[in-house]
Chain A
Amino acid sequence: MEFNTNFILGCSAIGAGLAVIAGIGPGVGQGIAAGHAAAAVGRNPGAKSDVTSTMLLGQAVAETTGLYGLLIAMLLLFVKPLVP
């Protein structure tokens, strides 16, 4: 069996699309963090700045797994490691 370059490029594009599905997890996680932060500010409005900075830090760390998916997609689309 022999595949030409266009076939491999098309499959790489599909793979890149599948890889960015990884964005679902961080989206849910960040939403939960933001929701709890909103509840915390509602309960204790004086601690708004502390709650906000902690929330942003946690969200940025939770984002990492989604960014790994993005990196895989970028590699597949622009570096094209599978094309001989």
Chain B
Amino acid sequence: MSISIQQDNFFREEMLVRMSLFILIFSLLPFSCLAQDSKEELEEIDLEKLADMSLEELAKVEIWVTTVSKKPEKLWEAASAVYVITQEDIRRSAATTIPDLLRMVPGLFVGNVDSSTWIVGSRGLANEYCVDVLVLIDGRQVNYLNWGGTFWSVQDYPFEDIERIEIIRGPGGTLWGTNSGNGVINIITKHAKDTQGGLLSGIAGTDLYKGIFRYGGKMGEDAFYRVYGIYKDVDSFHEVDGKDSIDEWSFGKAGFRIDWQPSEQDDVILQGDLFQDDVWVSWPTVYIPPAFYQVKNRYEKDKMGGDLMVQWDRTFDDGAKMKWLTYYDYFSLAHDIVINMNYHVLKTDLQYQFNPFSDHEIIVGSGYRLVSDDIENGYVEYIPQHANDQTFTVYFQDNYKIIEDKLRLSLGAQIQYSDYSDFDYQPTVKLVYTPYEKYTIWASITRAAQHYYRGHKEDVFTIYSLDVPYETGTIPEIVRLSHEGDVDSESVLSFEIGQRLQATRNLSFDLSIFYTIIKDYISADPDWNHPVLFSDPILHYMVYAPPGNNIDGETYGAELAMNAQITDFWKLMASYSALDIQLHRVRNSTDIMFYPLEDSSPHHQIKVQSNLDISKDVKLDAAYYFVDEISNWEIPPHGRLDVRLGWEPTERLEVSIVGTNLLDDQTHEANGMYTAYTEVERGVYAKLTYRF
């Protein structure tokens, strides 16, 4: 965990030189392309080609492929750092899990901890249980806030049935609410009408087996349905020293979605899922609290759960829109000596969007959420063991078109009351200026708040923590992190500015720069001078660490992305992102738990993706990711290369061979809590998809 300051500085100097070169190349690109590009010429070539196409080919032509960004206009004009993963991106990616798909997003950090655990960090403070990135599937929140973080192992869906994934880096702001301070990941599945018929898909590889089934049909005149099932089996990773870890993982999930259009104005969606996750974690440790102890090398981290959601959208004659969403979510975690819990969420949200004046679009909404849990304590201890938390939310946003199609101002605020955190107030101001049709510049200021809904007020929240794996024969030093005091919500105030440019029809850029002020992040302040020696049940030291809001800081950085359709058959996407996090312990804090997070994110990331159409049916795709040093986890700078070769002999059949992490036998990507430091191996798999 210690960092050599000198080395760090040397490294940054060198990176600065590299980065300047990179930026220089980026800045010259638009000119080289402009020189040889004439709009009329291109359009005619395009038209010639269209005229000679067959119906089958026409049905596959992408409407937006010419605007390289692929984004619908709405996103093009968004006043946030937005990125969209399209179905095409998904199909051509080497990923078999959603977090691996997210690797392509500029600026996002994705690290695979062990076979079933991922860290997805946006703009810093990446850790397994972060509460600052909101993850949604069709509007249903899937991160569990009493424990924090997202269990990515259970967030799976048939990739062919995902419409797109929208990612906002930076505060989600008014419409997304608390716990979206650093990002929103919104997975949107397809309308059941677009997934008619059957699909069978199988993956077999060096480290995993996965099978996917889907069938979609029609119910009566106005309704469509689909059902799906996923099963997979993942082999264990290797530990840092090369020996086999014991973190095997198997997962099964099944679900359905019904889309019903009772009238022209109404859309009703009913969907549900059930899943079960069997995970093993390897972590040699000693478990002490309070009256017994246990030494374990391997334990389970099983999850199961399900959800049921109904959504109703109505469009009124005057263009106003209403959206109503209600869901119930059940989740259970059997984490052996760490924690066992059952978790229920009931949420309902009503949103109304209308245009009282032609230049104002107003969105108002309100929501209610009930979270209820039952906990069996382990390493992580909650008192009381059963609690209910209610959250009430109201929000409004006014999108004011100051100049039609040119200048737009958005003002909004969300006020949330929760049993655990009282009032959180989250205002946003955003300005979008579009001086030319394909050039947008935007700026925003947002305040966002976040909290763990457990561990506040009269609650006692305790983590017994050991910094290193336990070695038999030593006296363990246990830190008892206890939230016995009143802890306030954490807050961020984020300033962002960005621009997007469609430089030519084949080249687009997206740049965002941010500066975020962090206030009152939760700290655990151990009293190192007064360790208490206990001899029962075995000899150990206990260091008490009462909580506080004693970490302030700032994060800043930039993300630059480029999309280039170099020729008809070759598309290249590249991005560079810089990030720096400075955390300060204030009010004499002695925190050791959260403060090191400032060094848990890479300072620099470079991502390059290439999609090459070798012929109409054969496609070669590659992605390279460079991740800078992560000093807190002692991870050196490293690169990752994924390559995919796909062949589509008929409309019904697709075969692909994929190699992942090809540059290294095994790579250390990230560290988690309560798990051995395992490494991602090089992998090869074959995939076969059949539609009927």
Same complex for A and B? Answer: no
